[in-house]
Structure formats: structure tokens, C-alpha cells
Chain A
């Protein structure tokens, strides 16, 4: 019995191998046709802009077809890693600063720095320097910047008007923010002047840099979470919730998001990423009550900025065609096409105006202006791991379960341990 069983199992195995081996041959047949470039990105709201760029590119290059394919942010990296592991990565992809090191070191991306340097139509100086640098791994560049985002202060004009307080402007500092937040807070009504979100990029990371602290040092060897400046900045964020009671608690914000509270006039101000600008413009209520200012300063002005890049898969069958497409998207023309759809701020210097014009009811100019003193998104090769640890710990700190200093030091210890494995 057992023998027969094993014979059958072997047969099944052989059969299944044959089936899978057969399956892999199929894509070869399509190769003969005109080159089709697959382009993977996330966020369905970006589809009109991506499609418009693909259409224009196909018009200019009739022999190349582009097939854009959308995913969600949550699934994107799981999907891309599976595709990369299986050797079927899309030809052109969106790259994020948290992942570029991993993909570059895994030889999954085509180095394109030399191509940009050799091309008369392109110049890395046309994009914000920090974003170009985000995609440089050991001196080699793997992407052309696509867009950038910053974080600004969103406030409710209606609530400011009702209390007769002047709108936030570039003179504001932390003290002013706290003072006004106190005035706008009405605890018995459940109204808060500010929402200190337990978020890194659109939350405490900004205050850390405003206070001259840092998350990770430039050499990517050391965590800044145990420096006094960083701890002080986290303490400030924590005090807004627990000492001054001008912000909803972490628990309340987990139940009801800051932006939902904002729309229902329970929160007057919070830090918001520029990627939400399209959401502001689409909302019936936000259109009426919201506006944007630059972030308040402390020791200095700072906002976290990040930017996505277009990268090419190392294993692409059409490197030349893929390069042509990425190049087109990196030109001023490509940037202006995407600007007109108003989602992300285009990276090409001087192409931001159509994006600003798209939302005339808001001072979105503030987002674009802040790039001048922006701090590049803190990242390193193990960032997905330490950022996740830091995020979880910060939630425990801000909900009052862990002491600020103790928690920050734990984050620093974990980060340093992970950073030591990066060499």
C-alpha cells in the first residue's frame, strides 16, 4: 500500500512539474509583436493622469504600446515582490524611497543615472535635489523623479472665523499653535483645536526636524531617537494630547480619523500631506471651510518631503522602449500632463503652476513652497522594519502606555540594531 501510495505521489509531482513548466513558456509567443510596456503604479485616483501620459507617449511613439496597471498601496509591495521573485516584474514601475535600496541591491532595477547624464534632453538639476538623492544607491541612480509631496497645516476657516482668530501664516511657531489650539478647544463639546495624529510622515517626524532633532543620520548608521531634541519634539506632540488636552487621544483618532473629525468641525487644525489635496478639492464641505498654511516653526522651519520615481525593471525585455517611456514622463511635457490632474505635485522645476491652478480655492502654493526647507523622507534599507517598530512604539507612547523618553530610547536601540545589519 505504502509503496503504491508513494509511486502515485511521485507521479502527481511529475505531472504537476510538467504542467508548470508548460505554463512558463507561453509569454515567449507574444514577444514577436510590437513592444508593449507594462506600467505598474498605485492609487486609482492617479489613473486619469497615468492614462493621459501613456496616450500622449503612444501618439509620439506609434511602435510602442503602454499598458498601465493599477494597484493599491497596501498590496503594491507584496505584489511587486512576488513578481520580482518570479521574474515577471512589470517593465516600468513606481518606486518609493523606502524600497529603492532593497530593489537596487537585489539587482531588480535598471541603473539609469548614466542614461540621464548622456541624454541631452534630461538633467537631474531640473528636479529637487533631495528627491534625486533618495533614489541614489551607492552612487548609482535608479529613477527619474515623478512627483513630490510635503506636509502642511490644514485649518478650518469656519472655526477660526467663529472665534475671531486670524488664520495661520508663516509667522506661526509652536507656542502660537498651542495658544490658538487652546482657544479653539471646547472639551465639553468634544471640539479640539488640533489633532496630534500618531503618524510619522504627516505627524511627529515634522516636529522632530523643526526642533533640530533627526530620525536617522545622513550616513544611515545611527538613529536620532535618543537625542534630546528628538525626545523634546515627541514630548511636545504628547503634551498636546495629555497635558494641554487640545487634541483628541490616539484612541479617539483610531475610532474617527482626523480628517473625518475635521469635516464634522470637531477638529480645527492638523498636519496634512499634500497628497490629500485632491481629496480637499473634491469634498463638498472641505471646499468651503478648509485652507492650507505652512507648518509652524520651532528652532527652524521643516517639513518632511518625499517623492516617487519612475524606475525600470532590470529584467525587462524592452529596455530601450521602457527607457523612452520613462524619459518622456521625466520631461517637462510629461510633468505638465500629470500636473493637470491635480494628484501629486510634479517634480520638474517650474511645472507646478498647472497643479496649483487646479485647486484655486486653496492656498496649495504653500505645499510647493515648503520644498525650499523640506527634509527628505528619512529612510534606509531596513526602513520597512524599523519604521514599523517605531510606528507601533509611538502609538503606545502617545496613548500614554509608555513613557516618552523610555519609548524613544527603545526605538533608537531597535533602529541601531537593524542599521548595524545593513552593511
Chain B
């Protein structure tokens, strides 16, 4: 008995060693192959994140001098009314732009998936905003929104409605920006959803037809479940993008605009602290705060995705 056991462990030991050696060369190769990406990721993404977290515990002097001050910045953050307002704005923006944006993208994808005339032209038109520079988009929309001379208010005036300054009225400014964000994101989301729709085999629908299912039943029992992985991807990306909203706000709400209080997002506030006020340390706190928010939101999404996303 004893001998046998000893013998077997010996054998096991040898195979383990062999396996280990084999594995080393295998892993080394694998790491070597991904090294270019890993180095880039580390230098350009991970290392700056670590530095940013370090900076958030410092106070910034001029010309890159930083003095360790512990949690002082975090105490300041807790009492910062502007940041609180910016956080509220960011969430309002996300809540407004993401669901509407995705519903419209889904609708567009659905329509363009059917057999209509000139659908490639429509696809191109819907995708155009994605290839336009955000700065150019913002310029055009600013003109459309102009309270005195804008096209929107001009059309409204034909019906006797005196439109507000869409971009400067605190009640509408954030929603106006969200509309632009929705408009410019439809194309991108639509393409992903369209690809998702086209992977659904036609046989399911044929089978459903034989079973006598109506269009609603088909949509909710076949299309949506099979589209859910693509939908999940689009939702995750849209929410992240909305939470990090900066360029449209920066371009559409100038510092001269009193509605800046209602439109300033967290990243916009970060930018102001870091590059207008040269307060990089406090800006780091702001961005770490946003990082934590995005992590929580994304984690939560991955938790609930098990309930509704079907990977067939």
C-alpha cells in the first residue's frame, strides 16, 4: 500500500514538473505576443490611473510640485456644492439621453432591417453624425438653438409660439444638449443593433409563423431575447459615454452662459479644475470620484445582466 502510494505521487510529481515547464514556455510566448498591447495599456492607462489616485492625496503647487496632504481633498470634495450639482447634472443627462437614445436606435435598426427601398442611403444618413466632428455638430446645433435667431424658434414663431433660449435657459439647456447627444449616437448604436438583428436566423420566425404567433409575440419572444447581447453591449457603452460627457457641454455651453450651472458635468468640472484653475490635485479627486461611480454602475449592470441577457 505505502509503496504504491509513494510511487504514484512520484509519478504525479514528474508529470506536474513537465507540465509546469511546458506551461512556462507556453505562457512566455503568450505574454510575449500580448506584450505590445500590455505595455501600451500599462503606460498609457494603468500607470496614469495609479498616478491620478496618488495625486488625489496631494495638494498641487506650481510646475508639477505636489505635496502629500492625505485625505484633505476628499474632505473638500464632500463639501463641494458645485461637484454635487455636476453629479446631479451628469445623472440627469444619463437618465434622459440613454433610454431615449437606445429606443430610437432600436427603432431605426428595426426599420432599416426590413426590406425598404434605398435602405443603404438611410443607413448612411443615420450614420453621418458619427463621422462628423463633435465641434462642428455643436456649432450647428448652437445656431439651431439660438434664442433670437435660431431656426427652431423661427419655426415656432410661425405658430405664434415664443420659444425660449434653448441653450441658455436653465430649464432647457441640459435637455437640449441631451437631444444632440441622442441625435449623434443613434447611428453608432444602430449599426451594432442592426448587426445583432441580422444574426437572428430566419427559421425561428418561420417556425413562429407556423405556430400562428403575431408580430408582437414574435418581437418579444424571438427578436428581443436574441438581440439582448448586442443590446447589453450598447447599453453599457452608452451609459459609460453619458457619464463621461464632456465635449458637447464644453462646446455648447460657453463660460459666458449662465446655464453652465445646470449643464456642467463631472468631467467638465474636472477639466475646469485641472486646466483653467491649474488645480490638478483636486481635479484628480473629482475624476477618481467619477471612476468609482462608473465602476459601481457597471458592476451593477453586470449583476443584473444574468437576468435578461441570453447568449444562445
Q: Which residues of A contact B (CB under 8 A)?
A: 4, 8-9, 12-13, 15-16, 77-78, 81, 84-85, 102, 105-106, 108, 190, 198-199, 250-256, 384-385, 388, 391-392, 395-396, 399, 401
Q: Is B220 in contact with chain A by the CB < 8 A criterion?
A: no
Q: Is B140 in contact with chain A by the CB < 8 A criterion?
A: no
Q: In the complex, what's the smallest C-beta–C-beta distance from A86 to chain B, in angstroms?
A: 8
User: Does the CB pair A255–B278 fall under 8 Å?
Assistant: no
Residue of B nearest to A108 (CB): B63
Known: A251-B147, A251-B165, A388-B276. A15 touches B63 (CB 8 A): no
User: Does the CB pair B255–A85 fall under 8 Å?
Assistant: no
Known: A102-B62, A254-B256, A255-B167. A4 touches B27 (CB 8 A): yes
User: Does the CB pair A256–B146 fall under 8 Å?
Assistant: yes
- Extra contacts besides A8-B31, A81-B278, A252-B148 (16): CB < 8 Å: A9-B42, A12-B38, A12-B39, A16-B39, A16-B42, A85-B64, A108-B63, A250-B256, A251-B168, A255-B145, A255-B148, A256-B149, A384-B278, A392-B255, A395-B257, A399-B258
User: Does the CB pair B258–A385 fall under 8 Å?
Assistant: no
In the complex, what residues of B have CB within 8 A of residue A251's CB? Answer: 147, 165, 168-169, 257-259
Q: How many A-B residue pairs have C-beta atoms within 8 angstroms? Tell me.
A: 85
Interface size class of B (residues with CB under 8 A): 35 or more
In the complex, what residues of A have CB within 8 A of residue B27's CB? Answer: 4
Select one of B42, B148, B169, B261 contacting A256, CB under 8 A.
Answer: B148
Residue of B nearest to A83 (CB): B63
Dominant secondary structure at the B interface: loop
From B142, B165, B258, name the one whose CB has the most chain A CB atoms within 10 angstroms: B258
Select one of A106, A199, A384, A396 contacting B277, CB under 8 A.
Answer: A384
Q: How far is the CA of A9 from the CA of B64 in the complex (A)?
A: 26
Q: How far is the CA of A251 from the CA of B275 in the complex (A)?
A: 25
Instruction: Mark B160-185 against chain A: 1 for CB-CB distance below 8 A, else 0.
Output: 00000101110000000000000000
In the complex, what residues of A have CB within 8 A of residue B148's CB? Answer: 190, 252, 255-256
Instruction: Mark B256-294 against chain A: 1 for CB-CB distance below 8 A, else 0.
Output: 111111000000000010011111000000000000000
In the complex, what residues of B have CB within 8 A of residue A77's CB? Answer: 278
Instruction: Mark B166-207 against chain A: 1 for CB-CB distance below 8 A, else 0.
Output: 011100000000000000000000000000000000000000
Residue of A nearest to B257 (CB): A254
Q: In the complex, what's the smallest C-beta–C-beta distance from A64 to chain B, in angstroms?
A: 28
- 11 CB-based A-B contacts, threshold 8 Å: A8-B38, A16-B43, A81-B62, A250-B258, A251-B168, A254-B258, A256-B148, A256-B149, A384-B277, A388-B272, A396-B261
In the complex, what residues of A have CB within 8 A of residue B272's CB? Answer: 388
Q: Is B254 in contact with chain A by the CB < 8 A criterion?
A: yes
User: Does the CB pair A401–B258 fall under 8 Å?
Assistant: yes
Q: Is B67 in contact with chain A by the CB < 8 A criterion?
A: no
Q: How far is the CA of A106 from the CA of B62 in the complex (A)?
A: 7
User: Does the CB pair A12–B42 fall under 8 Å?
Assistant: yes
Instruction: Mark B29-69 against chain A: 1 for CB-CB distance below 8 A, else 0.
Output: 00100010011001100000000000000000011100000
Q: How far is the CA of A251 from the CA of B171 in the complex (A)?
A: 13
Residue of A nearest to B24 (CB): A4
Q: How far is the CA of A256 from the CA of B31 in the complex (A)?
A: 56
In the complex, what residues of A have CB within 8 A of residue B276's CB? Answer: 384, 388
Q: How far is the CA of A255 from the CA of B261 in the complex (A)?
A: 16
Q: Top 10 closest A-B pairs, CB basis? A: A85-B64, A251-B168, A399-B258, A254-B257, A106-B62, A255-B146, A254-B256, A85-B63, A106-B63, A251-B165
Residue of A nearest to B61 (CB): A106
